Amino acid sequence: MTTAPTKTTTATPVELDLDARLAMVGAVMDERIYLAHLAIDVNTAHLPAAEPLPEVVAPPLIIPAAAPCPYTTPLAAVLYQAQARLEGGWCTGQLRDEAGAVCLIGAIRAVAASRDQADDACAVLLEAIRRDFADAETIPSWNDSQRGPRLPLLYLGRAAELAHARLI
């Protein structure tokens, strides 16, 4: 018996591009998900139907009331209220912008009862600012040189404490 010569061929591996590999992995994952879903259905078929979950209702939004003013002197109260007003939005270069943000003087004018009271509050604020920033010429120039509302808010608080200590 004679045997035919065998032809040996070596299979060269085929390089698949990314899209082909992703398609193959996607098909495998789809099959696994289908089998897992089927297993859940089979394993839970004997369980009685559960009652539907009650609807979850979020509690009403409670907005805390503004804290009462800790100062009894009128000028300190104006500076404290200006600080609260400035927390609603701070701006530079103008008294107030389109969004309702205000600068230091805009905040004081918004809460002061009169122009004289606003002027007195601005004088105390400028004094509080000049204690740490001796080169500050005016409140608007100092306000415009700030990068954020942190220092303007801080100095409104310091001015309120100063006015309260002076009983004005």
For residue 96, the SS3 value is strand
Average pLDDT of 30-38? 94
In the chain, the number of structural domains is 1
Range of the domain at 78: 74-166
Residue 140, pLDDT > 60, answer yes
Residue 162, pLDDT > 90, answer yes
Average pLDDT of 17-45? 91
pLDDT of residue 67: 79
85 inside domain: yes
50 inside domain: no
136 near 163, Cβ under 8 Å? no
pLDDT of residue 2: 63
Q: How would you class 8 by CB atoms within 10 Å of its CB: exposed for 0-12, middle for 13-18, buried for 19 or more?
A: exposed
135 inside domain: yes
Average pLDDT of 141-154? 96
94 near 84, Cβ under 8 Å? no
Residue 58, pLDDT > 80, answer no
100 inside domain: yes
42 inside domain: no
CA distances (Å), 100 to each of 46, 79, 85, 128, in order? Answer: 62, 19, 10, 26
Residue 121, pLDDT > 90, answer yes
40 inside domain: no
145 inside domain: yes
pLDDT of residue 159: 97
When pLDDT is cut at 50, 70 and 90, the band that residue 62 belongs to is confident
Residue 111, pLDDT > 60, answer yes
124 near 163, Cβ under 8 Å? yes
48 inside domain: no
